[in-house]
Structure 1
Amino acid sequence: MLKNNPENILVCVAWPYVNGEPHLGHIAGNNLPADIFARFHRMVGNNVLMVSGSDQHGTPVTIRAKEENTSPEKIADKYHKIWSKTFQELDFSFDLYTKTGTENHKEIVQKLFISLNENGYLEEKYSEQPYSEKSQMFLSDRYIVGDCPHCNSRTKGDQCDSCGKDFEPIELKNLKSTIDDSEVTFKNTKHIYLKLPEFQKSLNEWITSKSYWRSAVKNQSLGFLSKGLIERAITRDIDWGVEVPLKNYEEKRIYVWFEAVIGYLSASIEWAKSSNNLSQNKELWKEWWINPESKHFYFQGKDNIPFHTIILPAILMGAGEYNLPYDVVANEYLNFSGKQFSKSENWAVWVSDFLKEYDSESLRYYLSSIMPESSDSDFTWDSFFDSNNNELVATFGNLVNRIQSLIKSNFNNVVPQNKNLDEIDNNMITDIKKSFESTGNFLEKRQFRNGLKEIMNLAKLGNRYIDQKEPWSTVKTNSQLASNTLWVGANLISNLGVLIAPYLPKTSVKISGMFNIKDNAPEWKYREVKAGILIENIEPLFKKIEKENKS
């Protein structure tokens, strides 16, 4: 599984709006799978660059600023710090987590804007846009609600939540602003539009060729294209965001949906110029963005699919020199007790609250086990408690504790000598080695739940092996048989520590420390523990959680 010829792997993680704290839905949907994927590819020897950042320019930020009677900049900085701290506490291994408010991001966005304009993919048009007289502001689609012109259902934006049909906002009846419930009028205004129809054929051919994409991603993208692409405005009548690099557009800003997806490129360039890039080669970002052999993986929620399969590729095609996504790894939604997580309705489990009571490793494990890869999944407190107690503690932790205790009590904490292993011993070693290939194949395919199941199946197999061999009994009658069993057991623990590293990095480090292995980033291969090594006593890896009523 180790790479003889390392690949350049770019891991791009969705940029969150920083208008509030992160909840568990954000973590399970894109950040955790991206981190597992990045860690795995580093272990197999690939050149990984994992980037993301805070989307500071979205309308939700300006609304939150009004609610808190402060500036968008202060709100964006406040929540950027909170998100950054949360990601550190969850051990996400970003090479750079930045924000859209940097000069570097502004420079790169404006550069692509100018390239698209020079290449003939932008045009100026006048249009009627929704406006709130009460708030004295133009409204984006997400902040207007009205009756669908097709089915009369109450809906937001430019696509009906009930019948799914598209329309122009001006076609909605009984329009209201969701910000202040005021009536909405329309005002004529000029904007710059991206000529998306010119990319229709290229995008269709490109997406059709992606045989390895998740079916939901590919089908949604082709369905979007089947309706026919229309020109989309990429500027807005707002004063918060990246300035438009054109004359007579000083009062407008670049629309956030255009600007934010360029963040993956701007973050890569920022990383190359930063001290995080140990090579100090400021052009190193090109190895991921210009080198055609590199692969880009975009980890998103399903609501972001068109932005990364249609909008971003069109921008990159139009600019003319950058690599397109290799895969858009979009998850479904993680719900909370049967209802969708919602910031606005305060229906969520906030990460900061969770980590005050429970360990980050327990959270990473549970969310990995229920990751909404192909359908929505559900977080419940009972299933979290069961996951920790019945799987992490009773299966994985118990195996480590049993083997460690037996070596301590019978061999003075020293890994015993192995000699003439029997068939059962050799089969156990073979199963350990096979787990690297089977688990690795699942991780390569972005099937993280299946990868975790493989690791836990190995732990279950290990417990059955110890039960079958009964070293606590054989040590009294045949010391060498017990030695062989516990040597195999020590190697089982060592390699579970390697296999679990992408999912539970702290646990992996603890297991390495148990055998006095200083490498906190092991390679993805069988790691043998030699006889004679003194085992360090470690605390139980996981603690049982008493069930609480969290309703």
Structure 2
Amino acid sequence: MKYLVTSALPYIHGIPHLGNLVGSILPADVFYKYLKLKGEEAIFICGSDEHGAQMELDAIKNNTTPKEIADKNHELVKKLLEDFGCTFTFYGRTGSKENEELTKQIFLALYKNGFIIEQEEEQAYCNKDKRFLPDRFVEGKCPYCGGLARGDQCDNCGRLLTPKQLIEPRCKICGEKVVFKKTKNLFLDLRKIKNEIEQWIKNSKGWSKNAVGNSLEFLKHLEPRAITRDLTWGFDVPVKGYENKK
């Protein structure tokens, strides 16, 4: 049997702490080395996740660019993992040209086959900065505990949130109050492949009962997921009308 081992990609807007290493990469590394000791055919693929709203927000705050942060932190994180003895068959980065080309190939295949749809939604907007704001660009009071919270989560009480739920939501770039305006984004319509995924899970071998049960429960609540953002950092969207999104 051939084995492909991977783990959650370290998000490099900052340097990962010990918990990131112990919680994902180290177990994968141990399993990979165990397979190799047994003489199994295995590869361990991982890499730096250099995209996301937080990377752009950090660049704005530090008067630099997301690419400069990514270039610096990628090398630091790669060396850190090597110093801990992690052994990768390949350790790359999400911003590579190869990954961009592959991502666009997959995107266009899904788009042409009707699995990507357009939907309109209300999103936070800053009149001062004249831009739509991803959830991590918004902060305000948590409606549950009153603590300071981001537009996606309250770290004080752990609740998952949306920007519209926040009390007195403000732009994290300039501090001004945000308004909510309608904008269009592209969504991956997971509902169209729900039945195929369900059968695949049920027919898979070697899964624990918990893994099967949790996966099937998750399928019950499948909704289209947005795959474009109002950001300047990321891959260009190869669809007309989405030139200003990533």
Q: Same fold (TM over 0.5)?
A: yes
Cα deviation per residue 1:12-47 (whole Å; 9 max; x = unaligned)? 121122111121111101111111111111121221
Partner of 1:144: 138
Q: What is the identity percentage for the equivalent residue pairs of Structure 1 and Structure 2?
A: 37
2:232 — aligned with what?
A: 239
Give the equivalent residue in structure 2 for 1:212: 207
Q: Hey, what's the Cα distance between the residues in 2 that align with 1:19 and 1:157?
A: 18
Partner of 1:203: 197
Tell me how far apart the structure 2 counterparts of residues 184 and 220 of structure 1 sit (CA, whole Å).
Answer: 37
Match of 1:229 among 222, 231, 237: 222
Partner in structure 1 of residue 23 of structure 2: 29
**2:170 counterpart letter in structure 1:** K
Partner of 1:14, secondary structure, is coil
The aligned counterpart of 1:72 is 66
CA contact (8 A) 1:19 1:76 kept: yes
Alignment-derived partner of residue 418 in structure 1: none
The DSSP-based 3-state class of the residue aligned with 1:13 is: coil
The code of the aligned residue for 1:69 comes to: N
Aligned-partner SS, 1:85: helix
Distance in 2 (alpha carbons) for counterparts of 1:193 and 1:103: 24
**Gaps (5+ residues) in structure 1?**
1-6, 254-551
Q: CA deviation at 1:91?
A: 1.8
- Classify 1:87/1:43 alpha carbon distance in 2 versus 1 (closer, same or farther; 3 Å): same
Rg larger for: 1
Q: What is the aligned partner in structure 1 of residue 57 from structure 2?
A: 63
How far, CA to CA, are the matches of 1:96 and 1:26 in structure 2?
19
Kindly provide the amino acid, as one letter, of the partner of residue 200 in structure 1. K
Please give the alpha-carbon distance, in whole angstroms, between the structure 2 residues aligned to 1:219 and 1:179. Answer: 42
Sort the Cα spacing of 1:212 and 1:87 in 2 relative to 1 into closer, same or farther, 3 A.
Answer: same
In structure 2, what is the equivalent of residue 88 of structure 1? 82
Structure 1 position 183 matched with structure 2 position 177: yes
Q: How big is the alpha-carbon RMSD for the aligned residues of Structure 1 and Structure 2?
A: 2.8
Query: In the alignment, what sits opposite 2:244?
Result: 251
> d(CA) in 2 for partners of 1:221 and 1:200?
11
Match of 2:33 in 1: 39
Q: For each residue in 1:460-501, what CA deviation from the matched residue of structure 2 results, as whole angstroms up to 9, or x when unmatched?
A: xxxxxxxxxxxxxxxxxxxxxxxxxxxxxxxxxxxxxxxxxx
**Maintained 8 Å contact 2:57/2:137:** no
Question: Following the alignment from structure 1 to structure 2, what is the Cα–Cα distance between the partners of residues 89 and 160?
Answer: 34
Amino acid at match of 1:72: P
The yes-or-no answer on 1:194 pairing with 2:188 is yes
Q: How many Å apart are 1:134 and its aligned residue? A: 4.0
CA contact (8 A) 2:59 2:69 kept: yes
What residue is the counterpart of 1:412 in the other structure? Answer: none
Q: Following the alignment from structure 1 to structure 2, what is the Cα–Cα distance between the partners of residues 230 and 239? A: 26
Structure 1 pair 181/219, CA: closer, same or farther in 2 (3 Å)? farther
In the alignment, the residues of structure 2 paired with residue 49 and residue 208 of structure 1 have an alpha-carbon distance, to the nearest angstrom, of 26
Partner Cα separation in structure 1 for residue 225 and residue 167 of structure 2:
22
How far apart in 2 are the matches of 1:20 and 1:248? 33
For 2:169, give the aligned amino acid: L
CA contact (8 A) 1:51 1:97 kept: yes
Q: Distance in 1 between matches of 2:84 and 2:71?
A: 20
Asked if 2 retains the 8 angstrom alpha-carbon contact of 1:146 and 1:176, the reply is: yes
2:212, 2:146 → 1: CA distance? 28
Letter in 2 for 1:58: G
Residues 230, 238 of structure 1: alpha-carbon distance in 2 compared, 3 angstrom cutoff:
same
Larger strand proportion of the pair: 2
SS at match of 1:16: coil
Asked whether the 8 Å contact 2:53–2:136 carries over to 1, the reply is: no
1:17–1:61 Cα contact (<8 Å) kept: no
Q: Distance in 2 between matches of 1:196 and 1:146?
A: 31
Q: Secondary structure at the match of 2:117?
A: strand
Describe the shift of the 1:31–1:167 C-alpha distance in structure 2 as closer, same or farther (beyond 3 A).
closer
- Seen in structure 2, the aligned counterparts of structure 1 residues 64 and 157 have a Cα distance that, compared at 3 Å, is closer
Contact 2:190 2:223 in 1 (8 A): yes
The structure-2 alpha-carbon separation of the partners of 1:18 and 1:160, relative to structure 1 and needing over 3 Å to count, comes to closer
Distance 1:189 1:212, change over 3 A: same
Mapped partners of 2:231, 2:212: distance in 1: 34
Superposed, 1:136-175 pairs within 5 Å as 136-146=130-140, 156-157=150-151, 169-175=163-169
1:64, CA displacement in angstroms?
Answer: 2.0
Q: Could you say which residue in structure 2 is the equivalent of 1:426?
A: none
Q: Which amino acid aligns with 2:244?
A: E
Residues 379-433 of structure 1 show CA distances to partners (whole Å, capped at 9, x for unaligned) of: xxxxxxxxxxxxxxxxxxxxxxxxxxxxxxxxxxxxxxxxxxxxxxxxxxxxxxx
* Contiguous gaps of at least 5 residues in structure 2: none
What does residue 8 of structure 1 align with? 2
Q: Which amino acid aligns with 1:105?
A: N
- What letter corresponds to residue 174 of structure 1 in structure 2? E
Using structure 2 for the length normalisation, give the TM-score.
0.85
Q: Which has the higher helix share?
A: 1
Q: What TM-score do you get using the length of structure 1 for normalisation? A: 0.40
Q: CA deviation at 1:120?
A: 0.8
CA distance in 2, matches of 1:139, 1:163: 22
Structure 1 CA distance, aligned partners of 2:222 and 2:104? 24
Aligned residues: 243
Once residues 141 and 185 of structure 1 are traced to their aligned partners in structure 2, the CA distance between those partners, rounded to angstroms, is 13
Check conservation: 2:152, 2:163, Cα contact below 8 A. Answer: yes
Deviation per residue, 1:43-102 (Å, 9 max, x gap): 212211111111112222112222321111111000001011111212211011111111
Q: Deviations over 1:101-152 (max 9, x none)?
A: 1110000000000010111101122222112334443222234345677x57
Separation of aligned partners in 1, 2:115 and 2:145: 36
C-alpha separation in 1, matches of 2:193 and 2:150: 27
AA aligned opposite 1:106: E
